[in-house]
Amino acid sequence: MDHQTMSNVPPRIGSAPLSHSQQSFPRVESRTAGAFRVCPLRPGGERPPPLQPSVSPSTNFFDRAAPQPTEPPAASHPANCIYDIAEFVKCQHTKESPPKGILDFVTELWKEMPENKDSRPEHILSREELFRGESMPSKVMKERKLHNEVLGILGRVGEGNLPKMKEELTNLPIRQSTDKEIQDVIQVIFNKSIQPEDSIFVPYYVKLVVSLINDIGEGEPAGRFIRNAIIRQCQRTFENAEEAQAQLEREIANLPEEEAEQRRLIFAGKQKANINFLGLLFTHGLVREKVVLHVLEWLLYGTERKRRFPADYELIHFMNLLLTCGKSFSKEGQEFVPKFRAVLEELMHMHPQRRMQFLLLNTVETIDNNWEPPFGAKATSSSQEHETERRPVSQLPPRNKLVLAPPMNPIPSRDGFWEAMDKFFVTSNAEEVITLLADIPDETRIVYCTSVIHRYMTTTRCVQQRARLGELFEELANKRVLPVEDVRKALFIHLRDAVKEDLFTDVPRYFCNWAIVVKGGRDVFPPSLHTEFLNILVDNGASRETLVNMVRDVHKIQSESPGSVETDARSRFRVLPALLRYTPPLLSGYSMDDTEDVFRQLRDCDSDVDYFYHLCEQEDSKGVFMCINSLGKAPHLAFSMISAIFTFVRFDVEALCREYKESVKKLVNTKQLHLLLEEVYVTWQALDRTPENSFLLFVKALRSLNAARDQLDKFKTLLTKNYGAAGKKDAAMLDKLK
């Protein structure tokens, strides 16, 4: 600790009375009173009296019990005088500890200072170490971790000091660190590498990583961990880009347009930097070629690997990655280049924006020029850009038709979109909505539709809008402006947010509003959405009260329309499988009695639950089929009874068909066999709790009662046509039945 550090010691300490004790301070040779610096003037301009030499008293000054002399002896440092603070500071340089009395006195004096009574910053000297020449380490230094050191190296690296920074990085104890500490280091390097403002330093970051892995050894666990962790981080950022984009749009939906656009630009910059980082990792041998080829195909063809028109940002990422890595491809990788070039050339003729046309043309010419920028083997990127600007449009390859799009309009605000939606319910004209949707990107459309659904669901006065919302979405879907898939995706985003925020407590009529919206647009909102919503509630551990309110409100709204009973197996509201999967929340605060059983509460409004509850309450098998005689009066109840019975006995269908052959045959004959099979198939699929090959055994048992082969063929046709790959697989299994 130097003298400047002690300049903050208050003057009161400097004026403390000092006198010799039995353990005196060692004196510096050839030091006299006249050798000291002149002390400052007193407030009145008077100099203090000169120091008078005197003999030290034999009595200790701090010994309160000792008898005091009648006349104070002349001391070398008399009291009530102003001394130079530097003399007091010199005490810390003594080899021996100061007398205990002095330390006690200074400690008490320190405590009495107002600025030290309440709190004391960590970087100020402690009282105990005032005269020891040691200072307390700062809190920042105590908490400084390994990744902080790496961040400091990344912040200082450049072309001139790269070897020195490599040495500093390899000298850190990364090899001996834990996986958690190494993961923190990787996160720091990755976060620094995807910052758009650090793009010019990313090559240095990659060289540091390569040097670190080479120093540790890729065969070592730490070296493999670093390499794999960086690759996984790039992969996660790339694969989760769509979800991150959707999350960003939800976050900025309520922000001002300028701030929202700024957030979008930052996000796009990070995605571009991530692609650039991946390309540099490949050129330095840290990423395999097949990973880069996979990313290139994903950017060009999407997740489904089909021909499509990529978005502009996907094309830009594709071209940057291809130009970075193309020259380093192996012989196998070079085989993909002609295919990539053909797609780029095709898009160059079709793209409506001139800027993208030039970018595509430059990429094609660079590939043809052996991966060097055109107009010279060592042409810089800046000269390439200037040459591109000077190049006339006529040099573009000929094409049949090229309609240049007008300048892009700004994205409409959310409030403007809401206003256009409201006008439709007054004028029944959707042209303004269609015009706005044309200027909104696909991801933003989903976010805007989610906000519209949320608004009409939760606002009490929007009665007309709720009833006709499905009508509006149907018209937009029929005009191919807004795909039905996007509408349903927006709806489910709203439902998950509603469950997470528990909107049902704040909006008591929420489930009625939901049922009205679904009822108003069958083509866009089929009744099967009720089943999916109920499954979301069950999977998220909703309360019994919430489930009961949802089912009752939906059935209430459905029953208001005559002939509203849904008999289609794929569309009807299926409550029973969801309730069988339901587990009440643990530690809910009270114990449930029989009256609160969810099946007992819902048996009066749902026929499937009623039949199943009736089966559970039977003490013997005599009354199981007693209600079959009443099915002639209400034929639609046959589906409910079939669903309930075969769900109840799904583990032993063969025994049921054997012991109650006539009753089951009578039940089966109430409907055509292929419809009965479809009903049980959909119910068991929703339940997802059946033994292996149980449905195959079920069909085999029913065929023994009804040998109509054509009914089974109709059912296999339904499986193949309506249930996708799983249905085709199950239909192939049914072909094995004899």
CATH number reported for the structural domain that contains residue 266 in this entry: 1.25.40.180
Q: Is the pLDDT of residue 540 over 80?
A: yes
Calculate mean pLDDT across residues 693-716.
72
The residue length of the chain stands at 738
134 band by pLDDT with thresholds 50, 70 and 90: very low
Residue 548 pLDDT class (50, 70, 90 cuts): very high
pLDDT of residue 32: 42
pLDDT at 688 > cutoff 70: no
Same domain? 21 vs 73: yes
Give the pLDDT score at 368. 87
**Domain shared by 254 and 355, yes or no:** yes
Last residue of a domain, one of 70, 103, 137: 137
pLDDT at 97 over 90: no
In this structure, are 203 and 241 located in the same domain?
yes
Q: Is residue 396 part of a domain?
A: no
What confidence score (pLDDT) does residue 552 get? 92
Section 688-702 average pLDDT: 71
Dump pLDDT digits (tens) for 482-500: 888 889 999 999 998 888 8
- Rounded Cα distance between 144 and 613, Å, is 64
Q: Are residues 501 and 561 in the same domain?
A: yes
Is the pLDDT reported for residue 116 higher than 70?
no
Decide: 157 and 208 in contact? Cβ < 8 Å. Answer: yes
Does the pLDDT value for residue 248 go beyond 90?
no
Q: How far apart are CA 425 and CA 719, in angstroms?
A: 40
Tokens 């834990």 found at: 178
Mean pLDDT (whole number) for 51-56: 46
Do 304 and 381 belong to one domain?
yes
**Residue 668 contacts residue 708 (beta carbons within 8 Å):** no
**630-638 average pLDDT score:** 57
- Residues 515 and 642 grouped into a single domain: no
Give the number of domains in the chain.
4
- Residue 406 pLDDT > 50: no
Using 50, 70 and 90 to split pLDDT, how confident is the model at 511?
very high
pLDDT at 123 (0 to 100)? 47
Whether residue 130 is found in the same domain as residue 174: no
CA dihedral over 370, 374, 378, 380, signed as positive or negative: negative
Q: What is the pTM of this model?
A: 0.46
Asked if residues 699 and 736 have their Cβ atoms less than 8 Å apart, the reply is no
Could you tell me if 396 and 361 are in contact, meaning their C-beta atoms sit under 8 angstroms apart? Answer: yes
Indicate if 255 and 383 belong to the same structural domain: yes
- In whole angstroms, give the CA distance from residue 430 to residue 423: 8
Tokens of 178: 């834990």
The residue from 137, 154, 185 where one domain ends is 137
Residue 550, pLDDT above cutoff 90:
yes
Question: 622 in a domain, yes or no?
Answer: no
178 and 131 both lie in a single domain: no
- What's the CA gap between 716 and 727, in Å, rounded? 8
Q: Who contacts 170 (Cβ-Cβ below 8 Å, separation ≥6)?
A: 211, 212, 215
Neighbours of 187 (CB within 10 A): 14
- Distance from C-alpha of 518 to C-alpha of 469, rounded to nearest angstrom: 9
Give the percent of the chain with pLDDT over 90: 3
* Average pLDDT score over residue span 240-246: 80
pLDDT of amino acid 507: 84
**Do 211 and 233 sit in the same domain of this protein?**
yes
Q: Within 10 A of 715 (CB to CB), how many other CB atoms are there?
A: 22
Whether 614 is in a domain gets the answer no
Spatial CB neighbours of 15, under 8 Å, sequence gap ≥ 6: 81, 82, 83
Q: Where are the alpha helices (DSSP H) in 240-311?
A: 241-251, 257-283, 289-301
Confidence of residue 553 (pLDDT cuts 50, 70, 90): very high
Q: Is the confidence at residue 250, as pLDDT, over 80?
A: yes
pLDDT tens per residue, range 281-303: 888 888 888 888 888 888 887 76
If you average pLDDT over residues 321-328, what whole number do you get?
87
Give the count of beta carbons closer than 10 Å to the beta carbon of residue 210. 17
Which among 118, 137, 156 is the end of a domain?
A: 137
Q: At what angle do helices 673-687 and 709-722 cross, to 10 degrees?
A: 40
Q: Is residue 303 in some structural domain?
A: yes
Average pLDDT of the segment spanning 550-571: 79
Note the pLDDT of residue 331: 86
Please classify residue 203 by burial: count the beta carbons closer than 10 Å to its beta carbon, then call 0-12 exposed, 13-18 middle and 19+ buried. middle
Number of C-alpha atoms within 13 angstroms, CB side, residue 611? 23
Structural domain contains residue 65: yes
- DSSP three-state, residue 706: coil
What's the confidence (pLDDT) of residue 85?
A: 67
Rg (the chain; Cα; Å): 41
Residue 668 pLDDT exceeds 80: no
Question: Residue 74: its pLDDT value, please?
Answer: 52
Q: 24: which residues sit within 8 A by CB, 6+ positions away?
A: 56
Assess whether pLDDT exceeds 60 at residue 379: no
- Residue whose C-alpha is closest to residue 409's, from 536, 269, 257: 257
Task: State whether 128 and 161 are in the same domain.
Answer: no
* Token pair in block for residue 293: 């080829």
Q: Is the separation of the CB atoms in 455 and 254 below 8 Å?
A: no
Domain boundaries, position 515? 414-587
pLDDT of residue 691: 64
Mean pLDDT value across residues 191-200: 81
- Judged against a pLDDT cut of 70, whether residue 164 lies above it is answered with yes
DSSP assignments along 549-563, one per residue: HHHHHHHHHHHTSTT
Look at residue 408 and tell me if it is in a domain.
Answer: no
| Cβ-based neighbour number of residue 451 at 10 Å | 20
Helix (H) or strand (E) holding 626: none
Helix, strand, coil percent values for the chain (each to nearest 5): 60, 0, 40
Q: Which long-range contacts (CB under 8 A, 24 or more apart) does 380-387 make?
A: none
Q: What does the pLDDT average to over 103-107?
A: 79
Residue 9 lies in a domain: yes
Rounded mean pLDDT, 513-523: 86
| Residue 493 within a domain | yes
- Taking CA atoms, 32 is separated from 28, 36, 83, 92, 736, in Å, by 9, 7, 15, 20, 116
Contact indicator for 671, 640 with CB cutoff of 8 Å = no
Tokens representing residue 518 in the block: 């679904």
Structure confidence at residue 551 as a pLDDT band (50, 70, 90): very high
Average pLDDT on 626-650 reads 67
Please indicate, yes or no, whether residues 655 and 709 belong to a single structural domain of this protein.
yes
pLDDT per residue over 267-286, tens digit each?
888 888 888 888 888 888 88
CA separation for the pair 165, 171 (Å, rounded)? 10
d(CA 577, CA 647): 9
Tokens for 194, please give them: 């995807």
The phi, psi pair for 2, rounded to 5°, reads -90, 180
| CATH number of the domain residue 443 falls in | 1.25.40
Mean pLDDT (the chain) is 74
The amino acid occupying position 200 is I
Q: Residue 50 region, left (φ>0) first, then alpha (ψ -120 to 50), else beta?
A: beta
| pLDDT value at 390 more than 70 | no
pLDDT of residue 455: 87
Of residues 673 and 599, the one with the higher pLDDT is 599
